[in-house]
Structure formats: C-alpha cells, structure tokens
Copies of this chain bind each other. A is one copy, B any other.
C-alpha cells in the first residue's frame, strides 16, 4: 500500500501533481500550507480541487512565513507585480521581491512530518526548474539533499522519504499536455494562479502571462477561461 502526500497550493502545477499522484499511489492526501492575507482564495481553490480529486485535505497555517519574507508583499491584498509568495511560482529573472528564503525547504519539512504522521513516505511537489530559475530550492539538486536530510530526520522505521517532482523538467506546455492526459482538465478550472487572487486570472500579472503562454504553446484553451 503506497501512501503519498501532495503539497497543494491550489495553483495549476500542484493541481496537476495531485491528479498525477492519484494515478501513481494507492492512497493520497493533500496538504496546503498557507500564510499572509491571501489565505482565503488559495484555500478555497485547494479545497475545491481536493474534493474533485476525492482526497482528504488538510490546511496548515504558518503565519511565521510572513515574518520571514523579504518584503511585505505577501501580507497585502494590493496588486502584485512580482511573485506573491506562491509555493509553485517564481519569477524567471532573479529572485522575486517577496522571496521567503528556503520556503520549499520549509514546506517539504512540514510535509514530511505530516506524511510520517499519516504513515506515508512519499511527498509530491510541483516545483519546476525548467521555466523558473529564481528559487534555488526549486532545483532537483536541492530536492535530493532535502530528501536525504528528511530521511535521516525521521524514525528509520518510516523508511526513506521520497520527494517526487513530476514537473521538474517540463515546460509549461508539457505540463498542460500532462494535465490533459491525467484528466484533471475540469479541476484546472478551479486552480488559482493569478497573483491578484482572481479566477479566471487578471490576465496581466506575470503568473497569468506565464499560464497563458503554456496553454498557447500546447495548442489548448485554458479551461478556466472557457468556463468564464
């Protein structure tokens, strides 16, 4: 019996990862880690998506992440032109202004503790180093090191912790095509990518532009737009 925990932000990538995990593991749980003022829209999206995937879903609020951010962007509801502190999105050029150092390290560590608590040892995350090079903790080299640290941190009876990154080397277009094959097309309607917290997205923030580019390159129409 294989059990996995999926880090679900409610965005396009983690939604695709959730449906990937459902096909790969006998049993799946979703964990959302939220902070800042943008909680509600993200949590709502994650809840709807977990319900569509028919998996149990927990939400952990870690407000201290807001204190650790380099800027206060994550704590405002105002229009965001850089990265808004989303777990699965980083800016292509350099580090975004609201970068929380080691955020994925923190998310994976919390996910591992949550996994061990639920007798799971597999963690799935949508981090991707192809399109986004801003975050050092989106690289597979980091994931490998984190996997080893987490394995050593946990009771050995739990076995090795494995961190799966199915989107790591995919372009945005490839992620779109994967989503189509996984039949999570409908769930993508509910995914929240926009930095301004809108569904469908504002269409102009960097995250919306990137999402649109992926669908365009894959020759598909974003289901979130067709639903609008």
Which A residues lie at the B interface, using CB under 8 A? Answer: 60-64, 67-68, 70, 95, 100-106, 109-110, 112-114, 116-117, 136-137, 139, 141-142, 145-146, 148-150, 152-156, 158
Contact = CB atoms under 8 A, between A and B. Distances in A.
Counting every copy of the chain, the complex holds: 2
A217 to B, nearest CB: 30
A61 B67 CA distance: 11
Main secondary structure of the interface of A (DSSP, over half): helix
A149 B101 contact: no
Contacts of A60: 64, 67
A222 to B, nearest CB: 32
Contacts of A104: 153
Contact of A113 (B68, B139, B153): B68
A142 B153 CA distance: 6
Contact of A154 (B114, B136, B146, B156): B136
Given A60-B64, A67-B60, A110-B68, A116 B101 contact: yes
The residue among A101, A110, A145, A156 with the most chain B CB atoms within 10 A of its own CB is A101
A117 B68 contact: yes
Nearest to A104: B153
Given A155-B95, A155-B136, A105 B70 contact: no
Contacts of A103: 113
A160 to B, nearest CB: 12
Contact of A146 (B113, B141, B153, B158): B153
Contacts of A153: 101-102, 104-105, 136-137, 142, 146
Contact of A106 (B101, B113, B152, B155): B113
A145 B152 CA distance: 8
Given A61-B64, A101-B155, A105-B149, 19 more contacts: A64-B110, A68-B114, A68-B117, A95-B155, A102-B153, A104-B153, A105-B112, A105-B113, A105-B153, A106-B106, A106-B113, A109-B109, A136-B152, A136-B154, A137-B153, A145-B149, A145-B152, A146-B149, A148-B149
